[in-house]
Amino acid sequence: MQNRLSELTQRLRRISSEEVDVSGEYPSFLSDIIHEGQLSLGIDCISVWLFDDINHPVKLINVANTDWPAGQVPSHFQTEDEEDPLAFYPSLKYTDFPIYFSAISSGVSIAANDAEQDESTLEFNGIYLQPNGITTMLDTVIFKNGIPLGVVCCEGRGGVREWSETEVAYAEMIADCCSRRLLVKELWQLQQKLRLLAFQDALTGLKNRRYLMDFTRREISRHLRNGSTLSAVMVDLDHFKRINDKYGHDVGDVVLRQFSECCLQILRTEDCLCRLGGEEFLAVLPATKLDDAATVAERLRAAVEALVIKHGALRLQITASFGVCEVELQQPFSQSLKLADNAVYQAKRAGRNCVVVV
């Protein structure tokens, strides 16, 4: 038996160490682990459930299940809700199963040989066990930093089963393997956030200069290949220093944010609006000729002039100066930046609140 256990655990360890794509849904990167566990334990189903909030759990959410199509989320669970992508996944509420939740929260494995009689699982009688033919359960806790994060639930439909210490230990290893995969998922999500922050202006949410250079490099290459025109519009808010001096930087920050939102409403999805720094911005307009870019700049100018900045009882109106140029595809992008910057300078000298095309 010891040799058999060693063989099974080594196989599980190898599977859990394999590199997987954690960018997708939970079933896609937990499927191999729970299916291996199902096969090794000779049971009918294994499912993974996670607390909605590790510190103050209200419910357990079923995120992976061997009864589901291999590595997939059933279509009726899927949602496009970015704030709560697990909104339609099966779940158990703490208030409905307080005894079970307390047992899981303690971190101790539940070996319910007879699920209908065991005090930790009898709350499921009539609701889950009988309708699904479940007669025995072995639930082991998934930990994160020593705190219960969820549970791996092993279920049998073949009558009462005496779970051995060896089987409990193996099921706990399944939970540990899931824990490692979930940690990899969390690290990946953190990397995506850091990557986003690296290319995003923290105040306005717009792309920053670093992103701009990467974006324009790709766009210049693409426009050279297809022979289309790329244009740029530089924007500089008029008398912004006066606003900061008179009302304070908090109001200045509000102005920058509301100005950015105003511009985004005018620009297309494929356009790239970046904050270069301070009150200076640049919009890169793919597949746009110079005359059309000038028209866009005028629309932006009018929208900004009509914008009423609201902050508490304060109401402000602002203007901006615009410089428009066609991007020189055969030259470094810095040359086009200089052209646009010179155009803005000319707009300032012409009295501000206007568009200059070069």
CA distance readout (Å), 119 to 59, 99, 126, 342: 20, 8, 15, 78
Element (H, E) at 314: strand 314-317
Burial of 202 (0-12, 13-18, 19+ CB in 10 A): exposed
- The residues annotated with a catalytic role in the active site are 279
- Tokens standing for 51? 């607390």
CB 233 within 8 A of CB 300: yes
**Strand 110-112, strand 91-93: pairing:** unpaired
Residue in the block written with tokens 């937990």? 30
Long-range contact set of residues 214-217: C-beta below 8 Å, sequence gap at least 24: 215/272, 215/274, 215/284, 216/284, 216/327, 216/333, 217/333
Q: What is the CA 15 to chain-centroid distance, rounded?
A: 26
CA distance readout (Å), 223 to 38, 216, 328: 53, 10, 11
Work out the angle between the directed axes of helices 290-306 and 249-266 (0-180°, nearest 10): 130
Nearest in space to 148 (alpha carbons), one of 54, 59, 62, 60:
54
CB 168 within 8 A of CB 41: no
Phi, psi of 230 (to 5 degrees): -115, 130
